[in-house]
Amino acid sequence: MSSLTMNDLAAPLGLLRLLAADFAGLPAMNVDVSTIFPNTLELISHDDFGAFEAWRSALDIEADSVSYAEQSGGRTRVLKAETNHTGVRLCLIAYTHSHQHTEGEVAA
């Protein structure tokens, strides 16, 4: 059992509250706050690189700091960026299907 309390998650949860208020018009993202990394807030988008870009721009994260990768044999594209915001590690992550692969196609 974890010895952490909800107070130990106050920083990323407080940041989430701040972001929800300050950027209420931005696309909704999946949110992850974990007892494994209690000072990290992840905002995750599935099938929408546009949402990732909107958040990246709003948070003033430099475009050249975004990493790109592929997984699942090239079937999934991944964008990642992170910044420190009010002392919290804020990670933006986006996943989308590659247009190079169609359903039923097997990657080489």
Domains in the chain: boundaries: 1-10+30-108
Q: Whole-model pTM?
A: 0.84
**Tens digit of pLDDT for each residue in 10-65?**
999 999 999 999 999 999 999 999 999 999 999 999 988 999 999 999 999 999 99
Band (76; pLDDT cuts 50, 70, 90): confident
Output 99 or 90, whichever has higher pLDDT: 90
76 vs 107, more confident: 76
CA distance 23 to 33: 19
Can you spell out the DSSP letters for the chain?
Answer: -----GGGGHHHHHHHHHHHHHTTTSPP-EEEE-SSSTTEEEEEEES-HHHHHHHHHHTT--GGG-EEEEETTTTEEEEEEEEEETTEEEEEEEEEE-TT--TT----
Answer whether residue 102 shows pLDDT above 90.
Answer: no
